[in-house]
Amino acid sequence: MPVWVQDQCVVVSMVDQLVRKVRTGKRKSLKASRLAFGSLMTKKWSTFADPDIIRINKDLMADVLRIYRENFTGINERRFTMYCRFFNETCYAFLERGKVVGYCIFFVRPVFSYSHIYKTATLYSLAVDSDHRVYGIGKRLLQKGIREMKLNSVNCISLYVATENMPAISLYKKAGFRILRELEDVCGPGLKCYEMDLGLGQGLP
């Protein structure tokens, strides 16, 4: 049918554009096509309103990047910025009196099975400004992400966390994440980290 063919063309051309953008950015750790597909999967995203948490937009980017720089070593700003652009629906900033004091970034990827395409998410980065910690901001950012992942039929959220990062591990465990295994060199050269995940009960076989 002509309409269907036209829609399909539009989707194919969007995927092409995204794949080209990702390739230009020389992404290495994820296949560009899966990233592009994941990005498309978040386009019709249902949200929960939270008066303090909004999507990261370009006006907030400088503050978000500052918090990212202050909290992590071995940073990759280009990749970070690209995730914020491609996965805008799943990149959250916590505002206090109009100022960014924390952020949480997820990306979504497809998992293909024989008969279905499932969505899985990765918590790519989470940080709260040092002056604003232990007031529940990290928990609220994480909870907002988890609730929206459930609402949008994401099967599972995974993450990597350094084995010595007790505040973060405690936060993730309280949110229901479990430790899957210990790995080396994922959080940085020579560093040990845990891979953790949270199943969201959406029926991935």
Ligand X SMILES: CC(C)(COP(=O)(O)OP(=O)(O)OC[C@H]1O[C@@H](n2cnc3c(N)ncnc32)[C@H](O)[C@@H]1OP(=O)(O)O)[C@@H](O)C(=O)NCCC(=O)NCCS
Amino acid found at 55: R
Q: How many CB atoms lie within 10 A of CB 55?
A: 15
Task: Output 23 or 173, the one with its CB closest to ligand X.
Answer: 173
CB of 166 to ligand X, least distance (A): 5
Q: Decide: 155 and 146 in contact? Cβ < 8 Å.
A: no
Q: What share of the chain is helix, strand, coil (3-state, %, to 5)?
A: 40, 30, 30
Task: Output 36 or 138, the one with its CB closest to ligand X.
Answer: 138
Task: Output 65 or 137, the one with its CB closest to ligand X.
Answer: 137
Q: Decide: 203 and 155 in contact? Cβ < 8 Å.
A: yes
Amino acid found at 24: T
Amino acid found at 8: Q
Q: 178: closest CA among 165, 159, 204?
A: 159
Task: Output 23 or 167, the one with its CB closest to ligand X.
Answer: 167
CA-to-CA dists, residue 108 to 59, 130, 163, 167, angstroms: 23, 28, 24, 25
Rounded distance between C-alpha atoms, residue 138 and residue 92, angstroms: 11
Task: Output 22 or 141, the one with its CB closest to ligand X.
Answer: 141
Task: Output 87 or 94, the one with its CB closest to ligand X.
Answer: 94
CB of 131 to ligand X, least distance (A): 10
Per CB under 6 A, residues contacting ligand X are 71, 126-128, 133-139, 161, 165-168, 170-171, 174
Rounded distance between C-alpha atoms, residue 27 and residue 148, angstroms: 26
DSSP code, position 131: G
Residue in the shown chain whose Cβ atom is closest to ligand X: 138
